[in-house]
């Protein structure tokens, strides 16, 4: 059981990324970023952005880019 906050966010973001990466009709990074924006509260988004700022260990490519996209905004 992981109760480490960052680890949990990474796991959730990777799950989301896997779904959008499988879609052929839409951009996986944009879809993931949009999902995070629509369903994650600001604290969680800040948490994952912060994690990426510290290297983003454990994040798959699609969610990593999605978080970078969020951070860029």
Partner 1 sequence: MSLVKETDYGTPASKSENKVTLTIDGVSVTVPEGTSIMRAAMEVGTEIPKLCATDSLKAFGSCRLCVVEIDGRYGTPASCTTPVLPGMTVHTQTPRLAAIRRGVMELYISDHPLDCLTCAANGDCELQTMAGAVGLRDVRYGYDGANHVFARSRVDGKANFEWMPKDESNPYFTYDPSKCIVCNRCVRACEETQGTFALTIDGRGFDSRVSPGMAEAFMESECVSCGACVQACPTATLTEKSVIAIGQPEHSEVTTCAYCGVGCTFKAEMRGEEIVRMVPWKDGKANHGHSCIKGRFAYGYALHKERITSPMIRDKATDPWRVVSWDEAIAFAADRFKTIIETHGKRSVGVITSSRCSNEETYLVQKLTRAGFGNNNTDTCARVCHSPTGYGLNQAFGTSAGTQDFDSVDDSDVILVIGANPTDAHPVFGSRMKKRLREGAKLIVVDPRRIDLVRSPHIEANYHLALKPGTNVAIVTALAHVIVKEGLVNEAFVRERCDWDEFQDWAAFVSDERNSPEEVEKLSGVPAEDIRAAARLYATGGRAAIYYGLGVTEHSQGSTTVMAIANLAMATGNLGRRGVGVNPLRGQNNVQGSCDMGSFPHELPGYRHISNEAARKSFEEAWGVTLDNEPGLRIPNMFDAAIAGEFKGLYCQGEDILQSDPDTKHVSRALEAMECVIVQDLFLNETAHYAHVFLPGASFLEKDGTFTNAERRIQRIRKVMSPKNGYGDWEITQMLAKAFGLDWSYSHPSEIMDEIARLTPTFKNVSYEKLDKDGSVQWPCNDAAPEGMPIMHIDGFTRGKGKFVITEYVPTDEKTGPRFPLLLTTGRILSQYNVGAQTRRTENSQWHPEDVLEIHPHDAELRGVRDGDWVRIASRAGEITLHAKVTDRVAAGVVYTTFHHPLSQANVVTTDNSDWATNCPEYKVTAVQISPSNGPTEWQEQYRELSDNARRIAAE
Q: Which residues bind partner 1 (CB under 8 A)?
A: 1-3, 5, 8, 11-12, 15-16, 18-19, 22-25, 35, 38-44
Q: Nearer Cβ to partner 1, position 37 or 68?
A: 37
| Least Å from the CB of residue 55 to partner 1 | 20
Show the tokens assigned to 36: 């995070």
Minimum CB–partner distance for residue 28 and partner 1 (Å) = 11
For the CB of residue 8, give the shortest distance to partner 1 in the complex, in Å: 6
Asked if 14 contacts 60 with a C-beta cutoff of 8 angstroms, the reply is: yes
């Amino acid at each position: 059981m992981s109760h480490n906050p960052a680890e949990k966010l990474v796991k959730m973001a990777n799950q989301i990324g896997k779904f959008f990466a499988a879609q052929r009709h839409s951009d996986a990074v944009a879809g993931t970023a949009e999902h995070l924006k629509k369903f994650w509260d600001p604290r969680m988004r800040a948490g994952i952005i912060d994690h990426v700022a510290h290297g983003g260990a454990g994040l798959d490519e699609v969610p990593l880019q999605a978080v970078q996209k969020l951070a860029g905004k």
